[in-house]
């Protein structure tokens, strides 16, 4: 790998490990220092490697630099966290040996996931922290994703860290009923992180695959621990795999959305579909059926290329169950698409119009599609309404293509 690619790739994979391990040992209050140490380690690599060459073991080199920087920081500030410094010097004879074994890294990152998803933090802060601390995304990348300024993201992260300190959040692994409650918050955060990558409502970049795959990486990390490898965890990862399998087919060369019925199925990733099927099978243990189980099962049937009656009947039945478990207007809207495949457009229109999702552009896209074979004028009106609600150029392109199809017919 070329040097200009190696450091960014290592930053994405190793930054979060260094931060998590440091915070596990020194506590969450050390998080700013941990970030500085990790960032400075990569800065030193950028300054050194072009002249001295890439070391034989780049990751080990970074870990050594991080260890030395941590120790130097503590030596310079002996009055700060003096008891921590004393513990270190007593244990290590004035040297720091960061435990960067796979087991400790995994444990540290799991603890960090639960800390970041602490109930005192608002969801937007949890996602921003997850992107920064767990995924190694830069401030500019996060700001671009949420269509906001670098300053706004810095303030959001700063407020979240202040809440950490004020709430005395620790990197302890929750147990018993607390684990189950906190795991639910973790899964929601990963679900939202994946969703932001799968479809960004405001960002001109429709799909951010890196967000999707980072959410999947963290969900996979949860499956590696006996405590967090629960049916709902596997179900969420299955859902992500099924949805990610169609990422390459969801946009055209200009970045505009390609709707499901127009996708080139040869672009679907069959390996990810198989992986999702495996995780869905793992999720089948136990007596609880979560929303993730039902959404994963729906996503599974959407990966079936055949347009058979069995496929749509299963999807419709699963949506009915999902709406019973956890009602959502968006799920109800998506259900009407399956209803049209099973009982016809006229029946689906009746159900769709009950929803009255007047500010949702996809609601009007759906109505336009349902009316298209029945009433071209109404289809046109609905597509035009969707066009007025579109916030990005690529959404306008997708809807305009639909509108042009109605006018041409």
pLDDT at 211: 84
If you write DSSP's letter for every residue of 260-299 in order, what string do you get? GGG--GGGS-HHHHHHHHHHHHHTT-SS---HHHHHHHHH
Quick check: pTM over 0.85?
A: no
* 389 sits in which H/E element: helix 376-389
Buried b (16+ CB within 10 A) or exposed e, 349-368: bebbeebebeebbbbbbbbb
Report the C-alpha gap between 219 and 210 in whole angstroms.
14
Q: Which residues pair with 251 in a beta bridge?
A: 257
174, 178, 158, 175: which is closest to 166 by C-alpha?
Answer: 158
Residue 79 phi, psi (nearest 5):
-80, -15
205, 150, 144: which is closest to 393 by C-alpha?
Answer: 205
pLDDT at 85: 46
- Cα 38 from chain centroid (whole Å): 23
Report the C-alpha gap between 181 and 122 in whole angstroms.
16
pLDDT at 90: 45
Residue spans of the domains in the chain: they are 1-100, 103-226, 357-409
Report the C-alpha gap between 249 and 267 in whole angstroms.
6
Q: Which residues pair with 257 in a beta bridge?
A: 251
pLDDT at 290: 94
Q: DSSP assignment, residue 133? A: I
pLDDT at 201: 60
Q: How many CB atoms lie within 10 A of CB 158?
A: 12
Angle of helix 58-76 versus helix 31-52 axis, rounded to 10: 130
pLDDT at 68: 87
In Å, the largest CA–CA distance within the chain is 81
Report the C-alpha gap between 277 and 152 in whole angstroms.
40
280, 137, 114, 271: which is closest to 190 by C-alpha?
Answer: 114
Q: What is the 3-state composition of the chain as percent helix, strand, coil, each rounded to the nearest 5? A: 75, 0, 25
Report the C-alpha gap between 319 and 408 in whole angstroms.
34
pLDDT at 89: 47
Mean pLDDT per 10-residue section of the chain, whose length is 409 residues: 73 87 84 90 91 90 89 67 48 56 86 85 83 82 77 88 79 81 88 83 65 91 92 97 95 85 94 97 90 97 90 97 94 96 96 94 95 95 94 87 81
The token pair that represents 240 in the structure block: 């992500």
Residue tagged 């999707």 (tokens): 212
291, 309, 234, 241: which is closest to 270 by C-alpha?
Answer: 241
Distances (CA, A) of 340 to 315, 336, 365: 11, 6, 14
Report the C-alpha gap between 39 and 133 in whole angstroms.
11
Dihedral over Cα of 220, 223, 227, 232: its sign: positive
The residues, ordered by sequence, that sit 6+ positions from 218 with a Cβ below 8 Å of its Cβ are 109, 113, 130, 134, 135, 190, 193
3-state secondary structure of 253: coil
Report the C-alpha gap between 241 and 212 in whole angstroms.
9
Angle of helix 309-325 versus helix 291-302 axis, rounded to 10: 160
Residue tagged 């629960």 (tokens): 230
- Cα 297 from chain centroid (whole Å): 19
């Amino acid at each position: 790998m070329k040097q200009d690619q190696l450091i960014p790739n290592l930053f994405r994979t190793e930054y979060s490990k260094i931060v998590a391990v440091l915070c596990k040992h020194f506590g969450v209050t050390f998080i700013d220092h941990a970030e500085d140490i990790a960032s400075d380690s990569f800065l030193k690599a950028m300054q050194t490697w072009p002249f001295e060459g890439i070391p034989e073991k780049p990751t080990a080199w970074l870990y050594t630099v991080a260890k030395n920087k941590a120790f130097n920081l503590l030596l310079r500030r002996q009055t700060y966290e003096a008891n921590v410094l004393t513990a270190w010097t007593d244990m290590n004879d004035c040297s720091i040996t960061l435990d960067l074994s796979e087991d400790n890294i995994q444990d540290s990152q799991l603890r960090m996931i639960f800390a970041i998803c602490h109930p005192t933090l608002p969801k937007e802060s949890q996602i921003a922290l997850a992107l920064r601390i767990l995924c190694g995304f830069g401030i500019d990348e996060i700001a671009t994703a949420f269509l906001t300024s670098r300053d706004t993201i810095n303030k959001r992260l700063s407020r979240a860290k202040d809440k950490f300190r004020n709430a005395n959040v620790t990197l302890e692994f929750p147990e018993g009923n607390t684990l189950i409650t906190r795991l639910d918050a973790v899964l929601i955060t990963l679900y939202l992180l994946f969703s932001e990558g799968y479809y960004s409502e405001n960002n001109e970049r429709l799909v951010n695959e890196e967000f999707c795959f980072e959410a999947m990486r963290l969900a996979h990390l949860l499956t590696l621990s006996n405590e967090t490898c629960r049916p709902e965890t596997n179900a969420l990862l299955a859902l992500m795999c099924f949805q990610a399998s169609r990422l390459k087919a969801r946009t055209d060369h200009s970045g505009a959305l390609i709707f499901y019925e127009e996708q080139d199925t040869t672009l679907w990733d069959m390996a990810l579909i198989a992986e999702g099927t495996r995780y869905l099978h793992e999720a089948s243990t136990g007596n609880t059926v979560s929303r993730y189980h039902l959404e994963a099962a729906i996503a599974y049937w959407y990966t079936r290329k055949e347009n058979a009656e069995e496929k749509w009947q299963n999807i419709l039945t699963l949506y009915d169950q999902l709406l019973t478990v956890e009602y959502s207007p968006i799920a109800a809207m998506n259900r009407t698409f399956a209803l049209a495949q099973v009982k016809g457009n006229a029946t689906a229109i009746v159900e769709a119009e009950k929803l009255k999702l007047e500010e949702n552009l996809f609601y009007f896209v759906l109505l336009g599609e349902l009316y298209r074979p029945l009433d071209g004028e109404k289809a046109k009106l609905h597509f035009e309404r969707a066009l007025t609600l579109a916030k990005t150029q690529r959404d306008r392109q997708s809807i305009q293509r639909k509108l042009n199809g109605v006018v041409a017919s």
